[in-house]
Amino acid sequence: MSTLDLVIAGGTVVTAADSYAADVGIRNGRIAQIGEGLTGSDRIDATGLLVLPGGIDAHVHLDQATSDGTVMADDFASGTRSAAAGGNTTVLPFALQIKGQSLRACVEDYHRKAEGNCHTDVSFHLIVTDPTPQVLGQELPALVRDGYTSFKVFMTYDDLVLQDAQLLDLFEVARRERALVMVHAEGHDAIKHLTRRLETEGRTAPYYHSQAHAQIAEREATHRAISHAQLMDLPIVIVHVSGREPMEQIQWARARGMKVHAETCPQYISLTADDLRGLNMDFDGARYVCSPPPRDADSQAAIWQGLRDGTFDLFSSDHCPFRFEGPGSKDNPRARTSFRWVPNGIPGVETRLPILFSEGVSKNRISLQRFVALTSTNPARLYGLYPQKGSIAIGADADLSLWDPNLIQPIRQQSLNHGCDYTPYEGMEITGWPVRTLLRGRTIARMGKPVKEASGRHLSRQASEAFA
Ligand code: URP
Ligand code: ZN
Ligand code: ZN
């Protein structure tokens, strides 16, 4: 047998199933051996470190066009550099269809943006905003067969919202083509009604975003999406679940045998609606405006329970960065007039893994195995990348993240690599950091700093295991 190119020696290998002391041998970018006393041309000493499958962030927005002149703070270069520094080896960003645009043209457009610029592997989810007969009948089925095996639909936002009839049409195509649908479940009419009422009452500060995007509206839309999926006999993913009430709908559906998968995000365990108050209800709260908004301590407790008991399959960042200051930022003249105009979204691709590791594993709320499942193995399985990604096994890509579980340092904007000018988690004390990230056996980040070369590729995906 030929020599190994690289051995990660002396670490503790952690998978979604177990942990054990072993060396990991890499040849031609893949894991070739796992065992004791391995030798190779090169060696990384991992003594005292945990060797995990690279993080897979299955919900990331990069270089997306907006309809209001605001500008996403990360393109594919900065967003994937930031992802690599945060322990990720694959991210799944979105190719967002502009209404009237061909879905195929949209995907080609995002390939042009990504090509040659990615520091991690990437694979696009589609966002379908205009399900014309051409999209439903030809473009979407063809793209799914080409390996774009998941798409997101929105139940709110003026420029993205789909009516129930459109959702049902799309679900029917998804069922036939075996595409996994990700649902942004918030009830549009309820949000619009509450927004108008709050504005009439003069309640326009960023904080009121959290009241307009009420948990009841999220609960109702979650149930509606589940019912539509049940009618079509379709597995779905409810993304960015924020609190107890939508969780209960998911548990209700699961108890009846429905295949409803669920994702939550760092903001729902680390922030609450009170963060949107800023300093005395000022515009500072806009830093935390995202949808659904963070809720309260009770919802945080429910989310932790769901992360432990398997209600959640996925822990993703929903990285959707807008700068806080300057042209195209959150702080624009219209946003100052009402929360309604504050761009929705916060950065988080670099801090997702450290936050869950520190708050979850280091504080004994979840096991290391559960951490790996939520952040790497389950996203690979659900989005058609397993076993090439998401595991430490012979033949898998050598995508690894080495963790120092005892390294303690706070999150600081100045240390991050994203294009945003702030982090919502400034000063948060973190125990356990990724200290080295390898993509196909090549180091792509060390001690929070990405390397220069952009060696990431676009991945074509198989159908989700949800259809198995
Ligand atoms: O506020 C958020 N989450 N913006 C990103 C778009 C989305 O809905 O995921
Ligand atoms: Zn969404
Ligand atoms: Zn999102």
Reading the block at residue 348, the tokens are: 């988080």
Is residue 30 lining ligand 1, measured as CB closer than 6 Å?
no
Cβ atoms < 10 Å from Cβ of 198: 20
Nearest CA to ligand 1 atom 2: 345
Q: Hey, do 4-52+385-450 and 55-369 end up sharing a CATH topology, with the first three levels equal?
A: no
Ligand 1 pocket: which of 59, 291, 346, 349 to mutate (most atoms <8 Å of CB)? Answer: 291
pLDDT value of residue 2: 85
pLDDT value of residue 460: 98
pLDDT digits (tens, 9 = 90+) for 378-392: 999 999 999 999 999
Distance, in Å, from the CA atom of 424 to the CA atom of 267, rounded to the nearest integer, reads 9
Instruction: Average the pLDDT over 258-286 and give the result.
Output: 98
Asked if CATH classification 3.40.50.300 holds for the domain at 55-369, the reply, yes or no, is no
Q: With a cut of 90, say whether residue 1 has pLDDT above it.
A: no
Share of the chain above pLDDT 70, in %: 100
pTM: 0.98
Q: With a cut of 80, say whether residue 57 has pLDDT above it.
A: yes
Angle between helices 215-232 and 164-177 in degrees, nearest 10: 50
pLDDT value of residue 298: 98
Are the C-beta atoms of residues 383 and 92 closer than 8 Å to each other? yes
pLDDT value of residue 359: 99
How far does residue 464's CA lie from ligand 3's centre (Å)? 19
Cβ atoms < 10 Å from Cβ of 115: 12
How far does residue 78's CA lie from ligand 2's centre (Å)? 21
How far does residue 127's CA lie from ligand 3's centre (Å)? 10
Is residue 345 lining ligand 1, measured as CB closer than 6 Å?
yes
Question: Which ligand 1 atom lies nearest to the CA of residue 239?
Answer: 9
| pLDDT band at 67; cut points 50, 70, 90 | confident
pLDDT value of residue 401: 98
Ligand 1 pocket: which of 128, 240, 314, 322 to mutate (most atoms <8 Å of CB)? Answer: 240
Distance, in Å, from the CA atom of 177 to the CA atom of 164, rounded to the nearest integer, reads 20
Residues with CB under 5 A from ligand 3 (ion): 318
How far does residue 320's CA lie from ligand 3's centre (Å)? 6
Question: Which ligand 1 atom lies nearest to the CA of residue 184?
Answer: 8
The tokens 């703070």 sit on which residue? 73
pLDDT digits (tens, 9 = 90+) for 319-366: 999 999 999 999 999 999 999 999 999 999 999 999 999 999 999 999
Which residues is 450 bridged to in the sheet? 445
Is residue 156 lining ligand 1, measured as CB closer than 6 Å?
no
Is residue 152 lining ligand 1, measured as CB closer than 6 Å?
no
Task: Map out the domains of the chain as residue ranges.
Answer: 4-52+385-450, 55-369
pLDDT value of residue 362: 98
pLDDT digits (tens, 9 = 90+) for 85-102: 999 999 999 999 999 999
Beta-strand runs (E) in 282-428: 314-315, 400-410
Give the CATH number of domain 4-52+385-450.
2.30.40.10
Distance, in Å, from the CA atom of 46 to the CA atom of 51, rounded to the nearest integer, reads 8
Q: With a cut of 80, say whether residue 307 has pLDDT above it.
A: yes
The tokens 């690279």 sit on which residue? 54
Query: Which-ligand-closest: CA of 292?
Result: 1
CA proximity to 315, closest of 268, 252, 275, 385: 268
Is residue 436 lining ligand 1, measured as CB closer than 6 Å?
no
Q: With a cut of 90, say whether residue 253 has pLDDT above it.
A: yes
Distance, in Å, from the CA atom of 258 to the CA atom of 315, rounded to the nearest integer, reads 20
